[in-house]
Amino acid sequence: MSKSMIELAHDFVASQEEAVTFQAIWNYVRKQDPTTQDAQIGRFYQLLTLDGRFVAVGGNKWSLKARYSFKELYDDARGVYREVEDLETATVDEEVFEDDEEDGEDKDEDESDHEEEAA
């Protein structure tokens, strides 16, 4: 019985000492299963992201989640959320905001002038 694409990917990533690129994983799967077609690459990527055994480690590289402690994975995810929180709580430069409002008012007035001319 032949293995699925995701099982082939798991075998390959498990055999590597370090994280591997998506392209390397895809090339391995293609070599092992010649019936795999290029059109399946999107579906394969989706399966890889949804399979709980894999983790994206940055730079389009993948590894097995079992190789990382919960703390490593959690701290990395917190870093992403922390950046979003920083953006949400950043102060807005009020002068720039006021300039944007004035530009919007001028634009609306110009549009109404054109509508009157067309009538």
Token pair for 24: 């390397």
**Residues 57 and 92 grouped into a single domain:** no
Helix (H) or strand (E) holding 57: strand 54-58
114: containing domain: 82-118
> What is the per-residue pLDDT across 106-115, written as a single tens digit (0 to 9) for each?
555 555 555 5
**At CA 15, angle to CA 40 and CA 32, rounded to 5?**
35
pTM of the model: 0.61
Q: Based on the structure, what is the number of domains in the chain?
A: 2
Q: Give the pLDDT of residue 72.
A: 76
Residue 73 lies in a domain: no
Q: Give the pLDDT of residue 45.
A: 95
* 95 or 20, which is more confident: 20
Residue 111 lies in a domain: yes
> What is the per-residue pLDDT across 61-79, written as a single tens digit (0 to 9) for each?
999 999 888 877 776 555 5
Alpha carbons within 13 angstroms on the beta-carbon side of residue 42 total 1
CB 81 within 8 A of CB 74: no
pLDDT-based confidence at 83, cuts 50/70/90?
low
CB 3 within 8 A of CB 28: no
Residue 76 lies in a domain: no
Residue 30 lies in a domain: yes
> What is the per-residue pLDDT across 3-54, written as a single tens digit (0 to 9) for each?
899 999 999 999 999 999 999 999 999 999 888 888 999 999 999 999 999 9
Residue 32 lies in a domain: yes
Residue 75 lies in a domain: no
